[in-house]
Amino acid sequence: MAAGKHEQEIEVRGHLIDSMILTRIFDHVMDLKGDFQVLEFTVGKKKKDPSYARLLVRGKDEEHLERIIEAVYREGAQPVSVQEAMLVPASSDCVMPDDFYSTTNNPTQVFYAGQWIQVQNMMMDKCIVVDTRSKTAECKMIRDLKKGDMIVVGERGVKITPQERPREGVDIFQFMSSSSSSERPTQHIARKVADDIYNTKKQGGKIIVVSGPVLVHSGASEALARLIRMGYIDGLLAGNAIAVHDVENALLGTSLGMHVRDGTLAVRGHRNHMQAINEVFKAGGLRAMVEKKILKSGVMYECIKNDVPFVLAGSIRDDGPIPDVVTDVVEAQRRYKKVLKGARMVLMFSTMLHSIAVGNMLPSSVKVVAVDISQPVVTKLVDRGTAQAVGIVTDVGAFLPIVADHLEKMARHRQ
């Protein structure tokens, strides 16, 4: 009889089997040593039909049941009778209530004042602030919280729509099925990525590039400059190093003193890096360098010429950093998010730091392609970042030129 009290009816809809939602719900209950009974289960008769399940979940005591319920809610399950989300005001700036609801990066709704409200600006590991007057809700970083902000606590009244596995498409995401591998036909994959860029753009999608400095050393920055010139890139998120190397390359033909053209070392080349930084300070910044016609090529030049917004986030290892770098990291995060707003696709090249940062800011619906020569880096990006990411283990110096060439070829053919 006591047991009877610690149980709850939940329901869930969608591609329960195909997208493994039911598997994960069963997993959670069993991992937590709970119990369940399937009360109703209708599987989609045909392959596109959604399924429906109604389960009775049982815990050892109320707290145990709570835990199980919290876990299965995260997979998209809901109590059969909807409950209002609980709100608690922030007691001071930058402080969440103890039992704050911690977000995932999946589309999320909050049941408030008798209706489901879509949460704006979805990111993972944040809290949800509800504007009780306008009946809107948004994800907020802890540093942006104001005293009195109404914050969702507990797990009730929050509904998640887990990302369903893509099925009937033909893009790189179906193709790679979210795994990363160095044992794939590189040239074909490069063309496939080019196709995805082309199609995303054609449908009006916004494409953002995140890149590390290896792009310049490996000779691939010229290819990125071409992508920007062709109009495929809508924003660049990076750090101080890529900008400095790019300027060094544009002014002196070297990257950290190595001629990018042929890999030989320049005489007194160790100075080139610092000289490039000095030139930026002398001009007063990258934009000024372009206006004064000092900077006439490269990735940063193309961004400025083509009005592609860029944000350079500072880091502890920066040389300089140049005046264009946002040295306060919290401010840099805000600017990154602004550029990412509405992005459909993010390309990440050879940078773990900036890629993981961006991964944390993205809703699960944004397509992510991460390219790096190190398999552990790609794996970590995919693990941490977002499950939807596709990792490509290759040499960006050989890979990106193939992508750019293919896009140029397509442009010619389709003219």
What residues pair up with 391 in beta bridges, in sequence order?
370
What x-and-dash track marks residues 40-79 binding a second copy by CB under 8 A?
-x-xxxxx-------------------x--xx--------
Q: Smallest gap, in angstroms, from Cβ of residue 344 to a second copy?
A: 22
Site size for a second copy (CB under 8 A): 109
Binders in 323-362 for a second copy, by CB under 8 A? 323, 327-333, 336, 353-354, 356-357, 360
| Nearest distance in Å: CB 251, a second copy | 12
Q: How far apart are CA 398 and CA 404, in angstroms?
A: 11
| Listed ranges 97-105, 196-204, 298-306, 339-347: which one lies at the site for a second copy (CB under 8 A) | 97-105
> Residue from 7, 9, 35, 405 that binds a second copy (CB under 8 A)?
35
| Min separation Cβ 64 and a second copy, Å | 9
The reply to whether 318 sits near a second copy by the rule CB under 8 A is: yes
The whole-angstrom separation of Cα 242 and Cα 213 is: 4
Tokens 């596109």 -> residue: 48
Q: What tokens does 119 get?
A: 């949460």
Interface map 249-278 toward a second copy (x if CB under 8 A): ---------x-xxxxxx-xx-xx-xxx-xx
Q: Which of 371, 365, 233, 358 is nearest to 303 (CA)?
A: 233
Q: Indicate the helix (H) or strand (E) that contains 51.
A: strand 51-58
Segment 276 to 305, residues that bind a second copy, using CB under 8 A: 277-278, 281-282
Q: Which is nearer to a second copy, 177 or 415 (CB)?
A: 177
In sign, the C-alpha dihedral spanning 96, 101, 106, 112 is: negative
Residue 207's nearest CA partner among 222, 217, 197 is 197
Q: Is 112 buried (19+), middle (13-18) or exposed (0-12) by CB count in 10 A?
A: buried
Interface with a second copy, residue 409, by CB under 8 A: no
254 versus 388: smaller Cβ distance to a second copy = 254
Q: What minimum distance in Å lies between the beta carbon of 32 and a second copy? A: 6
Under rule CB under 8 A, residue 407 binds a second copy: no
CA distances from 78 to 13, 100, 368 (A): 9, 19, 29
> Could you say whether residue 394 binds a second copy (CB under 8 A)?
yes
Looking up tokens 């890529």 gives 242
Under the criterion CB under 8 A, does residue 127 sit at the interface with a second copy?
yes
Smallest gap from Cβ 118 to a second copy, in A, equals 22
Phi, then psi, of 198 in degrees rounded to 5: -60, -50
